[in-house]
Amino acid sequence: MTDDAELVVLMQKGDEEAFAQLVERYHTRLVRLASSVVANRHVAEEVVQDTWLAVLRGIDSFEGRSSPWTWLYRICVNRARTAVGKEHRSWPFDPQELGSDDGPFTADGAWVDRVEPWSDVTERMDADALTVHVKSAIESLPPGQRIVVTLRDVEGRSSGEVCEALSITEGNQRVLLHRARSRIRVMVDHRLRGS
C-alpha cells in the first residue's frame, strides 16, 4: 500500500490514480470530521467536496511541513468552520460548565464518587445498542468537544496531530477531550441505568 506522502508526490506529478486512492482512504473520515462541526450531513458532504477541490488546487504548494493527514484535516476543519460561519482557532468554554450542578463531578472536573465499572453492560444491552448510545452522546456534545473526541477516540489520532490539525493548544485539547469523555460517560451511564 502506498503511504500518504508518496500519494501526494504522485499527485504533484499529475497522477489521478493517486488522488483516487487518497479520496478512497480519507473521504469517509473527512465526512465524519465535517459532521462533528456542522449539524447537517448534506452540508458535511459539501464541506468534504470543497476540501477535495482545495486539495487539488493546492497540491503543488504542499511542502510536506506537516503530514498529509494533518493537511487534509486542517483544510476540512477550516471549510467546515466557514460553512457554519465560525472561524475560531479554539472553542471557548463556559466556566459555569463545571459548576456545582454538574452531578457526578467536582468543580475541578473530578468524579465525586468512585466510578463503578460497567461489569454487567453486556447483560443489559449488546454492543450495537451501546454504539448507538455513544454516537448519540457524541452528536450532542458542543462543537469543540465533539470534534476533539471524534479525532482522538473515533479516528485514533494523537493529541499532537489533533492540536496541529485544529490549531489549538495542548491544554485546550486536553480540556475539550476530558469534558467530552466525561459527558459521554455520564450520558451513556444514564441510558444504561434507565435514567
Among 26, 59, 83, the domain boundary falls at 83
Last residue of a domain, one of 54, 83, 112: 83
Whether 36 is in a domain gets the answer yes
- Tell me whether residue 141 is in a domain: yes
The last residue of a domain, from among 53, 83, 113: 83
Q: What are phi and psi of 140, to 5 degrees?
A: -85, -5
Per-position pLDDT tens, the chain of length 195: 789 999 999 999 988 999 999 999 999 999 999 988 887 888 889 999 999 999 999 999 998 888 898 999 999 999 998 888 643 443 444 444 444 444 555 655 556 666 555 555 455 556 667 788 888 889 889 988 999 999 998 888 998 989 988 888 888 889 999 999 999 988 888 877 775
Domain residue limits at 59: 4-83
Query: 0.85 cut: is pTM over it?
Result: no
Is 88 a domain residue? no
Rounded Cα distance, 136 and 119, in Å: 22
What's the CA gap between 126 and 44, in Å, rounded? 30
